[in-house]
Amino acid sequence: MIMICLEIKLLAFFIEHDTYPDQYSRNDLQRHHMKVEAEALGAIGDHFRRARLAARLTQEQVADLSGISRPRYRDIETGAAAARTTTLINIARALGLEMMLVPQAMVPAIEALLHPETEDDRPAFSPQPESDDDSRPHR
């Protein structure tokens, strides 16, 4: 998300000052901005959809918990519409998620925590799956 904000600010600067890097035309920058924005909206909506399905909630239930209409939630979940930050935060919290800004340099470490390739790659401090092994001492 930080990258998207920076690209949007760069585009706004070029448009406002009517100056563009030599390799870009105004239309190229606008097309690129629209593509990046559409990809971001789709990714956010996909995360919301997966979380909603995992929580076994309907779009109507998430919309009610978020304080928006079901058609508005549907448009956000499908990536068809952008939303205010407060709306995204409300939806995330309704789904048991928390939105936060993460420094770009930390993204690979966080992704490794969330999606280790193998058990050997799992950091020692990450949650370990529960086992059905009854040989462990009980406390």
Residue 133 domain flag: no
CATH code (residue 60):
1.10.260.40
User: In this predicted structure, what is the pLDDT of residue 139?
Assistant: 46
pTM over 0.75: no
Range(s) of the domain holding residue 104 = 2-121
Asked if the structure places residue 11 within a domain, the reply is yes
pLDDT reported for residue 78: 95
- What end-to-end distance do the CA atoms of the chain give, in Å? 44
Q: Structural domain tally of the chain?
A: 1
Q: Residue 131 domain-assigned?
A: no
60-119 confidence digits (pLDDT tens): 999 999 999 999 999 999 999 999 999 999 999 999 999 888 888 898 888 888 877 766
CA 97 to CA 52: how far, in whole Å? 10
